Structure 1
Amino acid sequence: MDTINQFLSEFDPLSSNSRNEFRQIFSLKTYKKGSVIAGYNQTKGKFFLIKEGITCSYLNDEKGKKVIRTLFLPMSVMASLKSIINQPNVNNVNVNFHCLTDCKILIADLDDFLNLVDKHHDISKLYIQILEKSYSELIRRITHLTTLEATERYLHLKKIAPSIENQIPQYQIASYLNITPIQLSRIRKKLSSK
């Protein structure tokens, strides 16, 4: 199953015409580990679909340290939520997107996607479902950060990305979990001794 079909299988079905037009707005691009895909200097809104690899959104804290907000695994949509909600413009991107591994990513101009939303009712429904899913993931992330202990957050991450420790460095995992690398090391040691 190709990436677009696999992605769309999670949502209400599209007509064959809509599916074809949706597919046509994407192009495949390969990025090396460490590449910045989009961010503060982006001049046009983009809509990304992760085919292979792990990416993240990050902000810089007051000391200039990168803090990972979100991890994007294969079949994830990656876009500035602010851009998607407010319509894209030059100053709308409020976060950087970065490759944590080598990646293959399908990219579409957000304007092209939003034109399809206006043109096709079923793609409009897809748009709503993508926004709902993004909102639900954001609420889940906030809930986990505010209610779960660090060990529970780590175990949840391992549940959704079992091999993540073989793919990205510990300090990046720790950043995503909002803990220090030393805390993560202690958690891993404690869990492995059980």
Structure 2
Amino acid sequence: MQNEEHLRYIQQIFDRYLAIDRDSLEQITKHLKLIELPADSCVLPYGTIAKKLYLLYRGSVVSCFMDESGKQYHKNIFLEGAFVGSTVSAMDRTPSQFSLTCIEASSMFEIDYTTFRALINTDGYFKDFYIQYLEKNWIRDKEEREVAIVIQEATHRYKSFLEAHPNIESRIPLQLIASHLGITPTQLSRIRKKLTIS
């Protein structure tokens, strides 16, 4: 990968968790491939075994569960800088329990899961990075989100979401934002109306 803008971007993403050295940056970038996907592209269909992990460069992706009746539940919205994929499916080689779909036209860096896992197992930087990544995203941030859904009033959650992601409403359908916040689209409509009036 020779594009300096891409190299800087990748370095910034890894540096958020743990400062990456030049050798480790070169190691990861030689395995990354930039792919372009139009809006509504399915990155990972339900029930398929995940073989890739992605680093979102431009665009947005939503993860969806489906119940036995076919009703969809939106799990997460991923924006630029997010790592996207079904790690459980890739680790266990089992069918993914959710799908990943591009909400907008998206660009992402793709890496084979087995290659990334080999880097974690052989390169001290990536092992330490992975620990930092898991602790931040799947312990601290996950716990904060779960507590917020139970304790925080919906208006407060919505305002915090907008502060963290300015202009998100022009990019992401409101029903996905509502689902991500753990409220109904009707509740979100009322909140937005109340905030507009006040």
- The TM-score normalised by the length of structure 1 is 0.90
SS in 2 for 1:67: strand
Per the alignment, do residues 88 and 16 of structure 1 end up closer, same or farther by CA in structure 2, a change over 3 Å counting? farther
Number of residues of Structure 1 aligned to a counterpart in Structure 2: 191
Trace 1:34-183 onto structure 2 (pairs within 5 A): 34-83=40-89, 87-89=91-93, 91-135=94-138, 136-183=140-187
SS in 1 for 2:100: strand
Q: Which of 4, 7, 15 lines up with 2:21 in the alignment? A: 15
Check the 8 A contact 2:47/2:98 in 1, yes or no: no
- Distance across 2 between alignment mates of 1:72 and 1:44: 17
Letter in 2 for 1:151: T
The superposition leaves residues 108-148 of structure 1 with CA deviations (integer Å, 9 ceiling, x where unpaired) of 11110010111111111111112112212222221121112
- Distance across 1 between alignment mates of 2:178 and 2:190: 11
Check the 8 A contact 2:37/2:106 in 1, yes or no: yes
Shift of 1:72: 0.8
Shift of 1:82: 2.2
SS in 2 for 1:49: strand
The superposition leaves residues 41-91 of structure 1 with CA deviations (integer Å, 9 ceiling, x where unpaired) of 43343211110111111112354222111111100111224246xx241x1
- Distance across 2 between alignment mates of 1:100 and 1:4: 22
Q: Which runs of 4+ in 1 moved over 4 A?
A: none
Give the share of equivalent positions with the same residue, in percent: 29
Q: Which of 179, 190, 194 lines up with 1:186 in the alignment? A: 190
Check the 8 A contact 1:45/1:88 in 2, yes or no: no
Check the 8 A contact 1:82/1:92 in 2, yes or no: no
Q: Which runs of 5+ in 2 are unaligned?
A: none
The superposition leaves residues 1-29 of structure 1 with CA deviations (integer Å, 9 ceiling, x where unpaired) of 53212212212223322111111121111
Shift of 1:178: 2.2
SS in 2 for 1:94: coil
Shift of 1:189: 0.6
Q: Which runs of 5+ in 1 are unaligned?
A: none
